[in-house]
Amino acid sequence: MAKTFPEGFLWGGSTAANQIEGAWNEGGRGPATSDFARLITKQIRDTEGTFDVHVPHNAASKEMVEDMKAHPENWELPKRRGIDFYHTYKDDIKLFAEMGFKVFRMSISWSRIFPNGDDAIPNEEGLKFYDAVFDELHKYGIEPLVTLSHFDTPLHLAEEYGGFLSRHTVEAFEKYAETVIRRYKGKVKYWLTFNEINNVLSNPFTSSGVIFDGAPEPSSCNPYLGHWQEKFQAVHNQFVASALATKKLHEIDPDAKMGNMLCRLENYAESPKPEDQLQVMFEDHFNWFFTDVQATGEYPYYMQRFFDENNIHIEMGKDDTKILKEGAVDFITISYYMTYIMRYKGSPVPQPIGRLLSDIKNPYLPKSDWGWTIDPIGFRITLNRIYDRYHKPIFISENGLGAVDHFDEKGQIQDDYRIDYMRAHVEQLREAIADGVDVFGYAWWGPIDLISSGTSEMTKRYGMIYVDQDDYGKGTGKRLRKKSFYYYKKLIASNGADL
């Protein structure tokens, strides 16, 4: 008999503080990079970039941040309001419990705990808020899985220190991690360090707090290509910060576990041409790199050539090698949304594409309303490849479908497209488990509609719970169960048998 979902499998949903909490200047919270993410609507995408290309949405330069500070009225900055979870968490968690959630992935907003990122003492009001959220989850037997940093570096650290370009930020992160690990010992068993740590390649400001002076206005398709020196230095420092946090967790709470978080990019060659396959290998390396370091505690052999040929010199602290080795993560987590097609770039020397989305279409796959390919079999392939590489337990941090939802004549949302996406992916997850891959949980991205990370839209909805709020913050904020709510509830109740 093939293996299937193990008993105690962690079914649930996944969110991030900056996309749900709102209350950006309440409760003593300091500003974070996410407060400077502007709304990108389809209109902007059509004029400033093609539909499928990842148009940068965040402040790309010091100048832009300054302008957003001086003239906030000229900018639409939806992450500041989120979906008001800061005030609605009790009702929202009740709905998650109704669906039968076993796990809730969320993040702590660093600047709620340390408003400047590096203050001498933590903000008690911020700490109390998360105490209340964790208590509420435990009331229903839901395990919190907590990301320490999900695209919201404290602005002060970004502006004064260039974020993770500086070791000062590493020290501040270690102190922040230690503070919350001590405080929530016994309440939080599963932690992650940095969300989609490979996002440094396409969004260095959001994920790592790196601001470039006079960087191009976010209007061209790929303005972040290059800046390799800064990006790889910042991510090296994040690796060290991640390892230090992992070591602290093991010291303080030996029962707790730390995971990484990688935006997994599964790549296919455009043709059987060996050159296209070579490009797949390059891109694979630029994706595996991040998890190789976090899971094995060592830099993989293949990066040296890229560093040498591009004159990249990573400044290492004298104990870094040891810290990385001692701070390897306990389990692997990924986000999985789609697969990508690679075409040879004409250079036998490794070069990453430098952004998350490839613009070559796969003719065999359907696409979402946002042009993301839908590839459930790719999910099984990717899970096998990860397990083959690391042999560590895997948790699915994110998987989901962003779509435009419509009400029917009865005022309900029949989101069969979302149900189909979920069914197909959970089916392939079950296949991967039958293949022998050790997966212990699955968190649907955005179980409740939230602010999109990439575009700051509300229109791009992932939820099984509808939130009455538009791109501009208008609406009653009321929550409503979609058809997928009942589907997921049934699926969880049967531990994945009732697909």
| Residues with catalytic function | 196, 398
Considering only residues 141 to 200 of the shown chain, the ones binding ligand P53 according to CB under 6 A are 195-196
The least distance separating ligand P53 from the CB of residue 257, rounded to whole angstroms, comes to: 20
Q: Is 452 in the site for ligand P53 (CB under 6 A)?
A: yes
Considering only residues 375 to 434 of the shown chain, the ones binding ligand P53 according to CB under 6 A are 398, 402
Closest by CA position to 13, among listed 402, 399, 497? 399
Q: Is 34 in the site for ligand P53 (CB under 6 A)?
A: no
Q: Is 133 in the site for ligand P53 (CB under 6 A)?
A: no
The piece of 315-323, 420-428, 429-437, 452-460 that touches ligand P53 (CB under 6 A) is 452-460
Bridge partners, 339 (sequence order): 266
Considering the complex, state which of residue 297 and residue 463 has its C-beta at the smaller distance from ligand P53: 463
C-alpha–C-alpha distance, residues 105 and 55, integer Å: 27
- Length of the chain as a residue count: 499
Residue nearest to ligand P53 (CB): 454
H or E element: which one contains 289?
A: helix 274-296
The least distance separating ligand P53 from the CB of residue 256, rounded to whole angstroms, comes to: 22
Considering the complex, state which of residue 356 and residue 432 has its C-beta at the smaller distance from ligand P53: 356
Q: Is 106 in the site for ligand P53 (CB under 6 A)?
A: no
How open is the CA angle 360-41-460, to the nearest 5 degrees? 75
If DSSP codes are grouped into helix, strand and coil, which group holds residue 32? strand
The least distance separating ligand P53 from the CB of residue 106, rounded to whole angstroms, comes to: 12
Residue 104 DSSP symbol: E
Q: Is 355 in the site for ligand P53 (CB under 6 A)?
A: no
C-alpha–C-alpha distance, residues 287 and 271, integer Å: 21
C-alpha–C-alpha distance, residues 337 and 472, integer Å: 26
Terminal Cα-to-Cα distance of the chain (whole angstroms): 19
Q: Where are the beta strands (DSSP E) in 406-498?
A: 439-445, 465-467, 479-481
Half-sphere exposure of 242 (CA within 13 A, CB side): 34
Q: Is 58 in the site for ligand P53 (CB under 6 A)?
A: no
If DSSP codes are grouped into helix, strand and coil, which group holds residue 88? helix
Considering the complex, state which of residue 19 and residue 246 has its C-beta at the smaller distance from ligand P53: 19
DSSP labels for 168-229? Answer: HHHHHHHHHHHHHHHHTTTT--EEEEETTGGGGGT-HHHHH---BTTPPPTTSS-TTS--HH
- Radius of gyration of the chain measured on its C-alpha atoms: 21
Q: Is 368 in the site for ligand P53 (CB under 6 A)?
A: no
Q: Among residues 211, 356, 464, 491, which is the contact residue for ligand P53, using CB under 6 A?
A: 356
Q: Among residues 88, 222, 287, 335, which is the contact residue for ligand P53, using CB under 6 A?
A: 335
Considering the complex, state which of residue 81 and residue 175 has its C-beta at the smaller distance from ligand P53: 81
Which backbone phi and psi does 395 adopt, to 5 degrees? -125, 135
How many residues make contact with ligand P53 (CB under 6 A)? Answer: 16
Q: Is 460 in the site for ligand P53 (CB under 6 A)?
A: yes
The least distance separating ligand P53 from the CB of residue 150, rounded to whole angstroms, comes to: 6
Bridge partners, 448 (sequence order): 465
C-alpha–C-alpha distance, residues 151 and 16, integer Å: 9
The least distance separating ligand P53 from the CB of residue 1, rounded to whole angstroms, comes to: 35
The least distance separating ligand P53 from the CB of residue 338, rounded to whole angstroms, comes to: 8
Q: Two tokens at 459?
A: 């229109």
Q: Among residues 85, 129, 164, 337, which is the contact residue for ligand P53, using CB under 6 A?
A: 337
The least distance separating ligand P53 from the CB of residue 125, rounded to whole angstroms, comes to: 25
The piece of 217-225, 297-305, 449-457, 476-484 that touches ligand P53 (CB under 6 A) is 449-457
Q: Is 32 in the site for ligand P53 (CB under 6 A)?
A: no
Closest by CA position to 413, among listed 311, 325, 487? 487
Q: Among residues 37, 142, 263, 353, which is the contact residue for ligand P53, using CB under 6 A?
A: 263
Q: Is 16 in the site for ligand P53 (CB under 6 A)?
A: yes
Q: Is 88 in the site for ligand P53 (CB under 6 A)?
A: no
Q: Two tokens at 426?
A: 């959970």
Considering the complex, state which of residue 279 and residue 399 has its C-beta at the smaller distance from ligand P53: 399
The least distance separating ligand P53 from the CB of residue 276, rounded to whole angstroms, comes to: 22
Bridge partners, 14 (sequence order): 105, 445
The least distance separating ligand P53 from the CB of residue 148, rounded to whole angstroms, comes to: 14
Q: Two tokens at 341?
A: 């097609």
The least distance separating ligand P53 from the CB of residue 168, rounded to whole angstroms, comes to: 26
C-alpha–C-alpha distance, residues 485 and 51, integer Å: 29
Cα dihedral sign, 484-396-380-336: positive
Which backbone phi and psi does 251 adopt, to 5 degrees? -70, -50
Closest by CA position to 360, among listed 296, 487, 269? 269
**Interacting residues toward ligand P53 by CB under 6 A:** 16, 19, 195-196, 263, 335, 337, 356, 398, 402, 445, 452-455, 460
